[in-house]
Chains A and B, each alone.
Chain A
Amino acid sequence: SYVLTQPPSVSLAPGETARITCGGENIGSNSVHWYQQKPGQAPVLVIYYDSERPSGIPERVSGSNSGNTATLTISGVEAGDEADYYCQVWDSTSDQSVFGTGTKVSVL
């Protein structure tokens, strides 16, 4: 089945830019979606269709997707951005959704 690989963790200081990668074979030919999950809470959609923001998600959150890597970018990180982030695609070959391994973002 299709595998999506994310770095386990990213640590940065407030105000820096977080770039969270999601690697998969030819992932650029799929649409990638991203979720934020804070401790003890349900996941929340933050980017869909590679780069679209749902209402309520700030402009400093953006997404891109090309080749074998999709990227979620959070500019000017704040303490409130500390969370786990997951990418997700629909694998048309197996007709099922696949989630990435998840990345824990820590704001020092």
Chain B
Amino acid sequence: EVQLVQSAAEVKKPGESLKISCKASGYSFTSHWIAWVRQMPGKGLEWMGIIYPGDSDSRYSPSFQGQVTISADKSTNTAYLQWTMLKTSDTATYYCARQEEAERSYWFDPWGQGTLVTVSS
């Protein structure tokens, strides 16, 4: 069974750093892109970026470029989303998802269970 299991909820203060994880199992981790998606409280889904664990090639939405770093560790089948300086506006649930593709179209299945990040002073 293909599964993505994310790290537990986090409570941080503004200015702190954070790295959350997404551990994959049940498929070849290095052969599929992994995406990160933000959902702010009561709001919709926002695509943040993707990484190809096979060679760590990554792409970012312009809205998130420079704000976060996406990485992957092939040895542990784990993808990461990282902040160096959190803001209160980073409070959201973050999902990872495996990207599937066919003929230059891409979709996401399955999704991790989500990691709630709360940033508050």
Contact surface of A with B, Cβ cutoff 8 Å: 1, 30-31, 33, 35, 37, 42-45, 48-49, 54, 84, 86, 88-90, 92, 95-102
Contact = CB atoms under 8 A, between A and B. Distances in A.
B25 to A, nearest CB: 16
The contact size tier of chain B is: 20 to 34
| B interface SS class | strand
Interface string B32-55: 000101000000111100100000
Interface of B: 35, 37, 44-47, 50, 59, 61-62, 95, 97, 100, 102-114
| A interface SS class | strand
9 contacts: A33-B108, A42-B113, A43-B111, A49-B102, A49-B107, A84-B44, A88-B108, A99-B45, A99-B46
B50 to A, nearest CB: 8
